[in-house]
Amino acid sequence: MDFPDDLQYTRDHEWCRVQGKRATVGITDHAQDALGDIVYLELPAVGDEVKKGEAFGVVESTKAVSDLFAPVSGKVVEVNSPLADAPEAINEDPYEEGWMIQIEMSDPKELSDLLAKAAYQKFVEEDAE
Amino acid sequence: MAQRTPLYDVHARSGARIVDFAGWDMPVQYSGILDEHEAVRTRAGLFDVSHMGEVVFRGPRALASLQKLFTNDLSKCADGQAMYGCLCRESGGIVDDVVVYRRGAEDLLVCVNAANRKKDFDWLSGHADGADVKNESDEWGQLALQGPAAAGVVQKLTSVRLSSVGTYRFTTGDVAGIPCIIARTGYTGEDGFELFCPPGKAAALWDALLEAGKTENVVPAGLGARDSLRLEMAYRLYGSDMDDDTTPLEAGLGWVVKLDKGEFIGRDAMRKQKEAGVPRKLVGFTLTDPGIPRHGYKVLRDGQPVGVVTSGTKSPSLQTSVGLAYVPSALAAEGSTFAVEIRGRAAAARVVKTPFYTRPR
């Protein structure tokens, strides 16, 4: 299981890559593996507001439906639209090709609630027990 | 504690993902549901179906007794032939859908759904009517090798001439030196075999089939692929698409209800329902809007709930969203339209002919 050092993580298994006021968001390697083959995706539109901890979209695998939760609040400034037609990219490359949305953060202080790699890894391992 | 098949250790050891299914620890996937689905459609996949139950009717009253419990007509089923049908209550509600393997008029094996092992045995033995009814569920392992390459692979391991075993026919013989019922049956829409074997030999048979299937790239497959494969064929799943409160006529299984064969439990109720008109029917539909229908989603017409989705998926073979739903009979004709409520949104759907998937010739 791969959890890059430069990302921050939620307990709902999203990742967040911060550059200035912008946060790019996707789901973790653990999440894609647990879901299985991803076949459908619903994402917000550019301009939508998302709120930390609330659902911003839905991902469906062959066997399950899961909400996607926003790691931070703000306005959606970019959406990985090609993903809707090729959601398998989330399984294949969750941290690059499989990114979902970019949020312009309204309150960067919210980032302090996210987990660093080591803490997230520990969380996943404890979850598995 | 969940029950386990004789193959549990094999699944766990080979990296299958295990889930609870009807009280059983079963592999939901090996390499991935889509991979396994494709393997079965193009090559072959091997399934552990040992969780299925077996109830055997024996003795001079066996055939007559089972005829009164089964909606299809076993007098039309030859020795060595299998027949699909339902067990019904007096109300017409479905106790289970089963396959009967007629070994002889005095020896019939009923293959029942895992979740209904006890319920079916209680029901069948409670209506034995002089037949000797035995629950042999723990005395059989069951493997299903399904797909276009299945027959060639099984043939490598047996001297039984499989070309003489037609669809829904069976025989007995050794496979990899293990005594089996060799049945040309399945739940995927592909050619293939279900092999009933002694439970202690199931692991050896599993290994032998995978080894013999190496050149054909046969893969082990789990319940996830089994579900998407059966749904592409619009095969009903007991507990999802039908239960004790639905009749075979409602479930679209009228073709296995022989009202004129003589008396059987549920016949009168179904005859009445047929005369009065079946109020709701299970139909196959495709979504014409984005989304994936799932069990329990509402069927809407003019914004009002009028029915319910019982199964749904994105068909791996067709790449469209398909499902089964109960709708009022007025909406059951091919081409009828309705909506499926997906997370508060009304997604357009259209009734289509089933099976959704047809095997290329």
pLDDT digits (tens, 9 = 90+) for B16-50: 999 999 899 999 999 999 999 999 999 999 999 99
E-only strand ranges, B236-279: none
Cα dihedral sign, B120-B126-B130-B134: positive
Q: Is B302 exposed, middle or buried (0-12, 13-18, 19+ CB in 10 A)?
A: exposed
Whether residue B190 sits in one domain with residue B109: no
- Residue B2, in any domain of the structure: no
Clarify whether residues B155 and B111 are in a common domain: no
If you average pLDDT over every residue of chain B, what do you get?
Answer: 97
For a pLDDT cut of 70, what percent of chain B falls above it? 100
Yes or no: say if B47 and B244 are a contact pair by the CB < 8 Å rule: no
**What is the DSSP secondary structure assignment for residue B185, as one 8-state letter?**
-
Residue count of chain A, please give it.
129
pLDDT category at A122 given cuts 50, 70, 90 is very high
- Residue B177 in any domain: the answer is yes
Cα–Cα distance, A109 to A103 (Å, whole number): 14
Share of chain B above pLDDT 90, in %: 98
Residue B172 within any structural domain of the chain: yes
Q: Are B66 and B195 in the same domain?
A: no
Nearest by CB to residue B32, choosing from A37, A40, A65, is A37
Ranges of H-type helices in B234-325: 267-276
Mean pLDDT value of segment B229-234:
98
Q: What is the amino acid identity at position B356?
A: F
Note whether residue A129 is domain-resident: no
- Output the CA angle B35-B21-B119, nearest 5 degrees: 135
Residue A70 near residue A52, CB atoms below 8 Å = yes
3-state secondary structure of B69: coil
| Count of domains for chain B | 2
pLDDT at A127 over 90: no
For residue B287, what pLDDT is reported?
97
The verdict on residue B240 lying in a domain is no
Residues 85-124 of chain A with CB under 8 A from chain B are none
Nearest 5°: phi and psi at B247?
-95, 160
- Are B58 and B42 within one domain? no
CATH number at residue B37: 3.30.1360.120
A41 min Cα distance to partner chain B (Å) = 8
Q: Which of B292, B297, B317 to mutate to test the interface with A (most CBs of A within 10 A)?
A: B292
Q: What is the pLDDT of residue B147?
A: 98
User: Residues 297..316 of B with a Cβ closer than 8 Å to A: which?
Assistant: 313-314, 316
| B102 and B178 housed in the same domain | no
The pLDDT score that the predictor gives to residue B360 is: 82
Residues B43-72 have pLDDT tens digits of 999 999 999 999 999 999 999 999 999 999
**For chain A, what is the mean pLDDT?**
95
Whether B85 and B207 share a structural domain: no
Q: Is B191 exposed, middle or buried (0-12, 13-18, 19+ CB in 10 A)?
A: middle
What is the pLDDT at residue B341?
98
Query: Alpha carbon B115 to chain centroid distance?
Result: 12
Q: Minimal Cα distance from A42: which residue of B? A: B291
**pLDDT band per the 50, 70, 90 thresholds, residue B275:** very high
- Based on the fold, state whether residues B92 and B150 are members of the same structural domain: no
Whether residues B174 and B45 share a domain: the answer is yes
Are residues B129 and B153 both part of a single domain?
no
Tell whether A126 is covered by a domain: no
Please report the pLDDT score of residue B7 as a whole number.
97
Q: Is A127 on the interface with B (CB under 8 A)?
A: no
Residue of B34, B38, B229 best to disrupt the A interface, most CBs of A under 10 A? B34
- What CATH number has the domain bearing residue A66? 2.40.50.100
Domain membership flag for residue B337 = no
pLDDT tens digit sequence for B317-354: 999 999 999 999 999 999 999 999 999 999 999 999 99
Cβ partners under 8 Å of residue B262, min gap 6: B67
Per-residue pLDDT, averaged over B215-220, amounts to 97
What pLDDT, in 10s, does the model give residues B153-177?
999 999 999 999 999 999 999 999 9
- Tell me how many domains chain A contains: 1
Q: Confidence band (pLDDT; 50, 70, 90) for B359?
A: confident
- Copy the structure tokens of residue B62: 């066996």
Q: Is residue A80 part of a domain?
A: yes
| Residue B104 belongs to domain with CATH number | 3.30.70.1400
Q: Which domain holds residue B128?
A: 53-137
Structure tokens at B354: 């089933």
Distance CA A78, CA A24 (A): 9
Last residue of a domain, one of B189, B211, B232: B232
**What's the CA gap between B95 and B135, in Å, rounded?**
16
Domain-located, residue B116: yes
User: Per-residue pLDDT averaged across B238-247, rounded?
Assistant: 98
Q: Nearest residue on chain B to A86, judged by CA atoms? A: B319
Q: Is the pLDDT of residue A129 over 70?
A: no
Which residue among B86, B104, B137 closes a domain? B137
B126 lies in some domain? yes
- pLDDT band with cut points at 50, 70 and 90 for residue A63: confident
| Shared domain check, B210 and B65 | no
Domain range for A14: 8-121
Look at residue A128 and tell me whether its pLDDT is greater than 80: no
Closest CA to B29 of B42, B41, B11: B11
Is A73 domain-assigned?
yes
Q: For residue A25, what are the β-bridge partners?
A: A16, A101
Residue B204 domain-assigned? Answer: yes
Is some CB atom of chain A closer than 8 A to the CB atom of B294?
A: yes
Mean pLDDT of all residues in A50-70 = 95
Residue B239 clears pLDDT 90, i.e. is over it:
yes
Rounded mean pLDDT of B198-212? 98
Check whether residue B71 and residue B132 sit in a common domain.
yes
On whether both B214 and B151 belong to a single domain, the answer is: yes
Integer Cα distance of B27 and A61 in angstroms:
17
B210, pLDDT greater than 80: yes
Helices (H), B234-321: 267-276
pLDDT of residue A24: 98
The reply to whether A81 touches chain B by the CB within 8 Å rule is no
Q: Which two tokens stand for residue A100?
A: 């979902």
Pick the last residue of a domain from B179, B202, B232: B232
Interface test with A, best of B231, B343, B345 (most A CBs within 10 A): B343
Buried b (16+ CB within 10 A) or exposed e, B18-52: bbebbebbbbbbbebbbbbbbbbbebbbbbbbbbb
User: In this structure, what are the phi and psi dihedrals at residue A63, rounded to the nearest 5 degrees?
Assistant: -115, -10
